[in-house]
Amino acid sequence: MAIWNRKSAVASALANWRERGLIDGPVFDRLSADLKAQTPPRSFTSVILLLGIVCIAFGVMTFVAANWDAMSNLLRVGLLFVALWASWGLSIWLRHRGHSWAGQLFVLLACAVFGASIMLIGQIYQIQGKPKDALWLWAVGTFAAAFLARSVPALALAIMAITLWALMDFELFGKPGGFEYGFLAYWLAGAAGAWWLASRFCAHVLMLSLSAWLLFLVFHLAEMSGGKADLTALFAVLFATFGMISLALYSLGGGRWFKGFEPAAIVHLFLLAGALVFFWYLATDLRFNGDWRSVSAASWPGLAGVGVTAILAGLGYRRNHPHFYDLAVTVAFAMVAAALSVAVQRVPFLMEGYMLALSIWVIRMGWRLEYRALSTLGFLGFSAVMLLLYFETLGNLLDTSLFYLGAGILLLLGAVIIPRLARRNRTRGKDGEAAS
């Protein structure tokens, strides 16, 4: 949950407790003062400042792209040189005056001017080279600026630039000549910077960046051979994602190794898992892939994924972990995925049912964790699967209607039976405690 949402919820709870007489006035005042002191929200002026810097940055880069012939090369280079050092000078002056956020934004502007300067010098002197190399130079320079100036916006820009560098030569449905595995080293540097700067925004950018790189890696490695597609890489990433979901759940209940980023990390991991399952679904569907009738894959990713999730669930059971339920369900979904991954051909209805069950579990987990973004993701996933089933029609409309009716009946039965089982288990637990 975002800091402003947490503060709003706690402030509302404090007011309610005071009205109900659970806390007195002095306690309410002390708690409210402490709440206000925790990471005060940025004013709307800071948002306007950010938008202004972004507009200026795009203006500078557009100026370079225009390559105005009425201006001499020396004048154009001089203007960018002045803009670069003016941005750095304003950043230092603003920080000296105590305006840290504004200073960070002018570091961002300096990095944008640095990128524009690389492009302009390449135009003027017609330097032979690939645009990808210029992008790499810009990304590395931005990384250095972000670390030296402790600028969160510059670090986010560096992460996005290095991600674009890693993926810009990839042909989605062609045969790329290679893949940038060195991206992981830059990603780890960005992760270290986000940890050092305690930036949740950069953590979000890092998760999206890694997810995009992993998806492109799966596409790169899933090459057809002999009428089959080798999805070993897909399953390896999918089961690693299940393992990371279990780790995030385990950390959420105690260790807090992700420094409070666990719920957001779970959302990103489920986004990645959903994309992988969807690609898996397409890879085994005759309607979408013609002669792509089956897939081949090694069995070790499924075994490894089930093993990791089972170990974490076992530790959760022994230590009475508050999220043991979700840890156990993670094992169940990993086991079903492992069983489906070794199937030679698609089993009708099972993949569709698996995707629906996965989306329902995401909704349930978001409900249990009181994390709205996770529940919203589950609802979106459920709706997407239902629409996919409708348009594909599973062979004909009668099959689709039967699938929908069956799924609806199972959900209604679950809504009636599961709460009764939960109440029975709670009653047994209380009886056991009383007897002891």
| Per-residue pLDDT tens over the stretch 204-261 | 999 999 999 998 888 777 765 445 667 888 889 999 999 999 999 988 877 778 777 8
User: Which band of pLDDT confidence, cut at 50, 70 and 90, is reported for residue 42?
Assistant: low
* Residue 243: per-residue pLDDT: 93
Q: How many CA atoms lie within 13 A of 307 on its CB side?
A: 7
CB contact at 8 A, 374 and 263: yes
Q: Parse the chain into domains and list their residue ranges.
A: 222-411
Cα–Cα dist 41/93, whole Å: 23
What is the pLDDT averaged over residues 289-316? Answer: 78
Q: Which of 72-76, 319-323, 346-350 has the lowest mean pLDDT?
A: 346-350
What is the rounded end-to-end Cα distance, in angstroms, of the chain? 39
- Assess contact for 51 and 103: CB atoms under 8 A: no
Cα–Cα distance for residue pair 290/202, rounded to 1 Å = 41
Is it the case that residue 7 has pLDDT exceeding 70? no
Q: What is the pTM of this model?
A: 0.75
Q: Which amino acid, one-letter code, is at 145? A: A
Predicted confidence at residue 2, as pLDDT, reads 44
| CA-closest candidate to residue 109, choices 66, 162, 52, 159 | 52
Q: Is residue 62 predicted with pLDDT exceeding 60?
A: yes
Q: Strands of 228-230's sheet, edge to edge?
A: 224-225, 228-230, 294-296
Nearest to 295, CA basis, from 366, 353, 343: 343
pLDDT digits (tens, 9 = 90+) for 146-180: 999 888 999 999 999 999 998 887 665 445 556 78
pLDDT at 141: 92
Q: pLDDT of 77-127, one tens digit each? A: 787 788 888 888 888 888 888 788 788 888 888 888 888 888 777 666 666
CA atoms within a 13 Å half-sphere pointing along the CA-CB vector of 40: 9
Short-list 359, 176, 163, CA closest to 278: 359
User: Is residue 155 a contact partner of residue 209, using CB atoms and an 8 Å limit?
Assistant: no
Torsion of CA 292, 294, 297, 303, to 10 degrees: 140
Provide the percentage of residues in the chain whose pLDDT is more than 70.
Answer: 71
- 360 against 17, higher pLDDT: 360
Q: Rounded mean pLDDT of 391-403? A: 54
